[in-house]
Amino acid sequence: MTQSPVRYDRQGAVGIVTVDSPPVNALSQAVRQGLWDRVTEGFNDPAVTALVIVGAGRTFIAGADIAEFIKGGMGEPDLNEVNALIESGAKPVIAALHGTALGGGLEVALSCHYRVAVPKALVGLPEVKLGILPGGGGTQRLSRLVGAKTAIEMITSGAFLPAAKAHSLGIVDYVGEGTDPLAVALSFAASLQAGPHKRTRDREDGLAADRGSSVFDEARASLAKSARNQFAPQRCVDAVEAAFTLPFDEGLTRERDLFMQCMAHDQAKALIHVFFAERAVTKIPDVLPSVPARKIAQVAVLGSGTMGGGIAMNFVNAGIPVRLLDLDQVALDRGMGVIAKNYAGTVAKGKLAQTEMDKRLSLIQPTTDYADLADADLIVEAVFEDADVKAKVFRRLDEVAKKGAILASNTSTLDLDAIAAHTKRPADVIGMHFFSPANVMKLLEVVRGRHTAPDVIATAMAVGKQIGKVSVLVGNCDGFVGNRMVQYYATEAQRLVIEGASIEQVDQAALEFGLAMGPFAMGDLAGLDVMGFIRARRVAAGLIYGTPLSDRIDPARKGQKNGRGWYRYEPGNRTPLPDPEVTAVIDAYRAERGITPRNFSSEEIAKRLIYSLVNEGAKILEEGMALRAGDIDIVYIYGYGFPAWRGGPMKFAELSGLDKVLADITRYHADAVAAGDADGAYWEPAPLLTRLVAEGKKGFG
Ligand code: 3H9
């Protein structure tokens, strides 16, 4: 018989129910059963007058077992039954919180008569981030404690609240000292008066003021904007409202009904996929966790432009000192000025203390002397995206860097092996591709070269985590994962315009799909001059199909930086405005090719944009340039503003049906061939996709 993950002990007159199910004490079927059995045992134990529920290891219960959701069916006993049992006892039950009491974990705690916590404990109902809502009574019980507004805020944001805040809101009854939740609970139990001990379901504290309030409609209207197109946030409001309109048990039934609606929705499938994909990216089959990372105490960044400055900020934000090198003192002063201005903006918004800004700035040592890089453990090159410039830099770095230093390139497209070949230590060379603005965007593509050593990979991944990035290991191909895919996406946006859509319509369709910005606005933000430079190299190397419109746009149009790109911009304003000069270029090009513009629906535009990503993503996957389809999804969600609730491009394709996606891609390819349009050649279906569909597979595996 397997041992239960929940045990029962006694200390004096207190019965202790300990959940011991690493890593996070999630509420698997065995844990729910164990809770049921051990709480029953405690209620029946004549020697105890109160019970404590506590988590072993690093945390209280961090929620329902999400892996169980995917397998389908959650098994008996249901969480609501366990909670009802806890709440029904004649003896008071105290939840002793440490680590994170989340989701179903907080719901268990809310069913207890009292909640106590250590100061570092965090509580929250983050279900909405998985596309669902609290389904174990959380919406009903929390509302009774804190009222509608706070309940809606907590449940629709999924935010984690520190113990002190939870105490001030009435969620936690007592915050003790130290780190031992059991000690806090035992001292609280000793102070308990004789009953009755009120059950949360019977509390009225939070309900009275908000009955019939407009807060629900206001929340719905606000979420319709801030969580546009998302299913669960609206259902969260519905569930909270039920606490104010229905008796408790009916409220629970309504909550469960809404929970099941969310579970059945594609958005939950997408977001649960993202949860696991984000954790899977850390796992590299041939770089085991036992591979030791190198120690990174001093970093150097080369290039003090927008990218270099942003990269430097990441490290000093994490307390790691940086030497920032530029060859030109004027450029260096300008770069330092931009960094100071960025921090000052955050201070002005009240999000950073002035002393903290000063501390961070003091950790950056500007220099124009390569000799100053000699003690750096990690050197990140962020100079101009030109192979010759990079070659020169890496030859110089090879001369000055100490033995064992990691030499990282922030190249976004160039061949990492060619860069590494300019050093005598290719095993120490790796790509660390940050995304602009580098101090904000969470993605870090870690590029593995042919000779990159396993411990260099382990170090880059670990450093990425330390500076708050989501690091994804990718292979060395032109554009790696993100930019390799995006070139086809950008070209497809232009093909749509050539065929008849307007620039604004294409961007609007991307926004309606849920992307953070459309392809043309993205081009203007990245800089058409930079993209033009990269494109010229690729075209010369035979790596890219035509990009007919870009080549006809006046090269003086650089995008947002000079107020003229695919759009025009008023000074000091980032709102894209249609520009007749660009429209004239499009009209002339259509006329030259004899194209009669046709109408497009937003849906058709979105499909063509997204499927261009999917088809290239499948090629990348087959070549092994990404380890998993989920890695590609994470790249797009954290690097390109792809909506997480769509799951990323590859999950979106799975949810749309790989067979349907392939049929569309095949048609786009046939259309391009029939029109003699060589620019559409990339629509040739990815062999992997064709094979999966032929085998009847529903996913990329
Ligand atoms: C819910 O409760 C629904 C109910 O209302 C209704 C039911 C009817 N389940 O993140 P980490 C794994 S919905 C299964 O790397 P950290 C995770 O996959 C749930 N597994 O650590 C990883 O595995 P591996 C509401 C879980 O310290 C390992 O634990 N709760 C779960 O950076 C370590 O995770 C949530 O949404 C889970 N619930 O962060 C909380 N949680 O090592 C979700 C974690 O094999 N979890 N794992 O890769 C979190 O936010 C973070 O994991 C947490 C720890 C903050 C707890």
Atom of ligand 1 nearest to the CA of 125: 25
pLDDT of res. 16:
98
Residue 367 makes CB contacts below 8 A (sequence gap 6+) with 323, 324, 325, 332, 373
Please give the distance, rounded to the nearest whole angstrom, from the Cα atom of residue 279 to the centre of ligand 1. 10
Whether the upstream peptide bond of residue 77 has omega within 30° of 0, thus cis, is: yes
Atom of ligand 1 nearest to the CA of 59: 56
pLDDT of res. 256:
97
In the beta sheet, which residues pair with residue 432?
446
Compute the distance between CA of residue 427 and CA of residue 417 in angstroms, rounded to an integer. 10
pLDDT of res. 457:
98
Out of 107, 381, 492, 654, pick the active-site residue.
Answer: 107
Compute the distance between CA of residue 57 and CA of residue 23 in angstroms, rounded to an integer. 8
pLDDT tens for residues 1-25?
579 999 999 999 999 999 999 999 9
Please give the distance, rounded to the nearest whole angstrom, from the Cα atom of residue 66 to the centre of ligand 1. 7
Beta carbon of 107 within 6 Å of any ligand 1 atom: yes
Range of lowest pLDDT (80-89, 201-210, 348-357): 201-210
pLDDT over threshold 90, residue 584: yes
Atom of ligand 1 nearest to the CA of 133: 5
Mean pLDDT of 329-346: 96
Beta carbon of 23 within 6 Å of any ligand 1 atom: yes
Atom of ligand 1 nearest to the CA of 67: 14
Average pLDDT over the chain, rounded to whole? Answer: 95
Give the pair of three-digit tokens for residue 526.
Answer: 């990245």
Out of 127, 241, 255, 445, pick the active-site residue.
Answer: 127
Give the pair of three-digit tokens for residue 588.
Answer: 């002339």
Residue 622 to residues 474, 522, 556, Cα–Cα distance (Å): 13, 28, 39
Q: What is the residue with the minimal CA distance to atom 4 of ligand 1? A: 104
Q: Is 445 a catalytic residue?
A: no
pLDDT band at 572 (very low <50, low <70, confident <90, very high): confident
Beta carbon of 667 within 6 Å of any ligand 1 atom: no
Residue 588 contacts residue 554 (beta carbons within 8 Å): no
Order of strands across the sheet that contains 299-302? 364-367, 322-325, 299-302, 378-381, 406-409, 429-434, 443-448, 470-475
**Angle CA 602–637–237, to nearest 5:** 75
Atom of ligand 1 nearest to the CA of 62: 56
pLDDT over threshold 90, residue 411: yes
Range of lowest pLDDT (388-397, 421-430, 554-563, 655-664): 554-563
Residue 273 contacts residue 647 (beta carbons within 8 Å): yes
C-beta atoms surrounding 288 within 10 Å: 10
Grouping H, G, I as helix, E, B as strand and the rest as coil, residue 448 is strand
H helices within 137-265, ranges in order? 138-146, 148-157, 163-169, 181-190, 215-226, 231-245, 248-263
Among 24, 76, 140, 281, name the best residue to mutate to test ligand 1's pocket (greatest count of ligand atoms within 8 A of Cβ): 24
Q: What is the residue with the minimal CA distance to atom 35 of ligand 1? A: 63
pLDDT over threshold 70, residue 545: no
pLDDT tens for residues 606-622?
999 999 999 999 999 99
Beta carbon of 677 within 6 Å of any ligand 1 atom: no
C-beta atoms surrounding 280 within 10 Å: 14
N-term to C-term CA, the chain = 34
Strands 443-448 and 429-434: antiparallel
Residues listed for the chain: 701
Considering only CA atoms, which of 685, 638, 629 is closest in space to residue 661?
685
Among 27, 60, 66, 273, name the best residue to mutate to test ligand 1's pocket (greatest count of ligand atoms within 8 A of Cβ): 66
Beta carbon of 653 within 6 Å of any ligand 1 atom: no
Residue 412 contacts residue 443 (beta carbons within 8 Å): no
Beta carbon of 103 within 6 Å of any ligand 1 atom: yes
Q: Is 278 a catalytic residue?
A: no
Please give the distance, rounded to the nearest whole angstrom, from the Cα atom of residue 101 to the centre of ligand 1. 11
Please give the distance, rounded to the nearest whole angstrom, from the Cα atom of residue 63 to the centre of ligand 1. 7
Mean pLDDT of 329-335: 96
Please give the distance, rounded to the nearest whole angstrom, from the Cα atom of residue 62 to the centre of ligand 1. 6
Compute the distance between CA of residue 457 and CA of residue 283 in angstroms, rounded to an integer. 12
pLDDT of res. 1:
59
Residue 14 contacts residue 189 (beta carbons within 8 Å): yes
pLDDT of res. 588:
95
Mean pLDDT of 484-498: 94
pLDDT tens for residues 448-461?
999 999 999 999 99
Beta carbon of 447 within 6 Å of any ligand 1 atom: no
